Amino acid sequence: MRVSRGPNWRVSQLPQEADALEIDSRVDHSAPPRPRLPRRTALTRAAVLAGSLAITTQSAHAQEAATNEEEPVPPDPDAPSADGPAMEVVPVGPIGVEPFAGFGFGMQAHMYYQDVPTVARLVSDAGFGWIKQQVRWSDVEPKKGAPDWSQIDLIVDGATKGGLKILFSVVTAPAWSRADGHVDGPPDDPKAFGTFLTALATRYLGKVHAYEVWNEQNFSREWGGGKINAGQYVELLAIAHAALKAVDPNVVVIAGALTPTGYNDVTIAVDDVLYLQQMYAYKDGLLKSVCDAIGAHAGGFNNPPDDGPTKKSVPSTTFKGHPSFYFRRIEGLREIMVLSGDSEKGMWITEFGWSTLNKAKGYEYGADNSEADQAKYLVRAFQIGREVGWISAMFVWNLNFQMIVPDTDEKWPFGIVKKDGSPRPAYTALKQLPKT
């Protein structure tokens, strides 16, 4: 991707490999999807990369064979029809204004059953103003009508006293809200989610500044294991947006961040660029009126943040060629926003990071990234985010999971502080990064 780096860069300078993004009318919608290796972030990377989804072609050879083509998934016959809503949705407008100025520097942390003041201090000592915590509805309200707020109370209190703004990423419907009795997916009735968000936003009014509605919903495992459906997600987002804005008109509502998969099978994963295109197409752009920002996840595997499919500054035997394997994949998402008439809206990168040497199966590529590389890449990614002009905030994945999980867990090598809370080189580099 050819990008001019500078304060005047805007989306008129789009990536040159448009054929790789498959976003225009030249797409052959009759073409069958071509399997790609699902790229994972957050809590489910290992499951995909280790083959838990029974994709037998997920190997280094498959990665090497990836081209710059992405065929779209054929329309899902089970998707909600644009001719009539699956449920009654009344968008709330106008879209709220972000309650902060400038660019948001954030870290994703794990604060449940932790020393929250210490975690908050690690974030603030690095000069960061935002902290992100994933809130599992299924954990808060395992019994309908009887939520347990005790841990979230401690999290909000500790982060607030630490002078941090809070982003909650709200996910996983409780078993009682789903006929199949499973968690990790949306509720059967999205209005139940709206009810929970109303209670959540009311309890922490003025203390939680942004809500991300779901996480990686273009990945079946994050969507209850069922068919991935962009229309259903937009309906859920509309309910969530209405509920949150009714309580706090100034809170930032972020469309759930998509994960770059490079894979198109509605039973497994849908490419993030294609999925975002589907979100905007649903009901003539309903998406534009039911969120304040578009969420994205970005990572580079073993590729530096300035690299792309046509620029490979570091030799690698894996994770190259396909746009999904590069941090600059976010430019493809931005292009969809612009083409959809939503260029005024900002993007929040709610997870990004680089793994290092580790013991997690499927994450062997981390050996290609030294701790110095991790530090350098994270700093450069923030610089890029500030330069482009359309990214509102970025959250490092992750702060402190080394303090919580064993070194065989895929989350461990992304952490920027050690088990004892001491800094890795990435933390030190980010602390030194100018924030003004």
> HSE (CB half, 13 Å, CA atoms) of 163?
9
Average pLDDT for the chain: 81
CATH superfamily for 104-432 is Glycosidases (3.20.20.80)
Mean pLDDT on 33-44: 33
| Percentage of the chain lying above the pLDDT 70 cut | 77
* Segment 329-382, tens digit of pLDDT: 999 999 999 999 999 999 999 999 999 999 999 999 999 999 999 999 999 999
Q: Are 258 and 216 in contact (CB under 8 A)?
A: yes
Local structure of 331: helix, strand or coil: helix
H/E stretch holding 352: strand 346-353
pLDDT score at 56: 26
Are 58 and 40 within 8 A, CB to CB? no
Q: Higher-confidence residue: 56 or 253?
A: 253
Contact between residue 412 and residue 401 where contact means Cβ atoms under 8 Å apart: yes
The whole-number average pLDDT for the span 157-177 is 97
Distances (CA, A) of 148 to 62, 110, 187, 205: 45, 18, 19, 17
Query: Does residue 103 carry a pLDDT above 90?
Result: yes
Domain ranges of the chain: 104-432
Contacts of 201 (CB under 8 A, 6+ apart): 208, 211, 243, 244, 247, 248, 251
What's this model's pTM, rounded to 2 decimal places?
A: 0.80
pLDDT band at 83 (very low <50, low <70, confident <90, very high): very low
Distance CA 275, CA 410 (A): 25
- Asked whether the beta carbons of 342 and 288 are under 8 A apart, the reply is yes
Q: What is the pLDDT of residue 262?
A: 87
pLDDT at 246 over 80: yes
Average pLDDT over residues 88-117: 70
Which of 34, 66, 52 has the alpha carbon at shortest distance from 362? 52
pLDDT band of 79, cuts 50, 70, 90: very low
| pLDDT over threshold 80, residue 383 | yes
pLDDT at residue 189 greater than cutoff 50 = yes
pLDDT at 203 exceeding the cut of 70: yes
pLDDT at 259: 95
What is the structure's pLDDT at 101?
Answer: 57
pLDDT surpassing 50 at residue 199:
yes
Joined together, the tokens standing for residue 251 give 């809170």
Say if CB 225 and CB 268 are below 8 A apart: no
DSSP notation for 270-296: --HHHHHHHHHHGGGTGGGGS-SEEEE
pLDDT band at 386, cuts 50/70/90?
Answer: very high
Q: What is the pLDDT of residues 23-37, one digit of tens each?
A: 232 222 223 233 333
Ordered DSSP codes for 233-277: HHHHHHHHHHHHHHH-TTSEEEEEEEP-----BTTTB--HHHHHH
Q: What pLDDT does residue 97 have? A: 43
Confidence bin at 299 (pLDDT 50/70/90)? confident
- 225, 230, 233, 238 alpha-carbon torsion, rounded to 10°: 180
| Nearest C-alpha neighbor of 296 from the set 324, 325, 260, 264 | 260
pLDDT one-digit tens code per residue, 48-68: 332 222 222 233 333 333 333
**What are the E-state strand segments in 63-113?**
104-108
- Please answer whether residues 392 and 254 qualify as being in contact, where contact means their C-beta atoms are separated by less than 8 angstroms: no
Distances (CA, A) of 197 to 138, 200, 386: 13, 5, 31
pLDDT at 3: 26
Tell me whether strands 252-258 and 165-171 are parallel, antiparallel or unpaired: unpaired
Q: Pick the residue with more confidence: 436 or 89?
A: 436
What pLDDT score does 26 carry? 26
Q: What is the 3-state secondary structure (H, E, C) of 217-238?
A: CCEHHHHCCCCCCHHHHHHHHH
pLDDT bracket for residue 74 (50, 70, 90)? very low
Across-strand partners of 182? none
Q: Is the pLDDT of residue 208 over 80?
A: yes
Residues in the chain: 436
d(C-alpha 180, C-alpha 416), whole Å: 38
Residue 281 confidence (pLDDT) above 90? yes
Opening angle at CA 194, ends 256 and 245, nearest 5? 75
Q: How far is Cα 416 from Cα 421, in angstroms, rounded to an integer?
A: 9
Nearest Cα neighbor of 427 from 121, 207, 126 is 126
